[in-house]
Amino acid sequence: MDRTDPMRVVVAGGTGLVGRPLVQHLLGLGARVEVLTRNPAGAALAPGARAHPWEDLASLLDGAEAVVNLVGEGIADRRWTVARKAAIRDSRILATRRLVEAMRDCRRPPRALVNASAVGYYGARDRTPVDEGAAPGTGFLPDTCRAWEAEAMAASEFGVRVVRIRTGVVLAREGGALPKMALPVRLCLGCRLGSGRQGLSWIHLDDLVALFAEAVRDTAWEGPFNGTAPGPIDNAAFTGLLARRLHRPLLPVPGPLTAAALKLGLGEMADALLLQGAFVVPTRALAHGFTFRHTEAGEALEGLV
């Protein structure tokens, strides 16, 4: 981003797990960063970034180099009721639609839209590696991701370069899935979930931030990219790595028992997020020359737990 006029990037959802470090990263690259948030006064952004309410959307997007859309309710925050599933879906689809409609009305639309998606797009798979060419799965998460991406792709109709980042389980020291996954292991209550053979497609937070930034910077990036590390593993192997890292034993609980307990406690969410999975690989990011700092889960955990 070495240019006389700093690149201006608008980040929607810039106060979350990925948004905050991404804003900091973009600032470090010399970009001018504007953050869309429902609470500008309480955003507490990195020095140099500016917070804006969604009411400023039309003027903010006009002439921007890129828009990064990270907006969406957490999918694992609580049990999936009908209302919760609607909130998960609508928060993604409606926010993306609002952004794209505002872009369409700009005199100078942003050159790029880098839109979050998720590996939930692929649904449950066997142990065969899954890349960006795979068809979507079926069920709530695949249907939500497919509709989410369709809203983003509408921006391509008026010349915007659209990148969809299908993010895996983000490994971070604070926030995200890892602290929740590590807690039962810390308490000596860890065990594999179900068969333990279901794929867990993960990515270190630092790599995900760098991947989003590269999608903003490199005009050759377009279409779907898997935001996952090159080394997906299964649930049993990941749980074993956590146990060794934390110096804790694992309980030999039979798979059917853990599966039944999870389904009783979490309902539909247990199957979609914990008992099923896919081995998703970042074929397109690697083909575009992106270098992952963390390629193996054991190494990635060393600095996080």
pLDDT digit string, tens, across residues 182-237: 999 999 999 999 999 999 999 999 999 999 999 999 999 999 999 999 999 999 99
Among candidate residues 113, 93, 147, 118, the one with its CA nearest the CA of residue 228? 118
79 three-class SS: coil
Q: Tokens at residue 163, please?
A: 């990148």
State pTM to two decimals: 0.95
pLDDT for 2 equals 46
**Strand 202-204 to 223-227 pairing:** unpaired
pLDDT for 210 equals 98
pLDDT for 130 equals 98
pLDDT for 296 equals 96
pLDDT for 39 equals 85
Low-confidence ranges of the chain (pLDDT < 70): 1-4
Strand partners, 8: 32
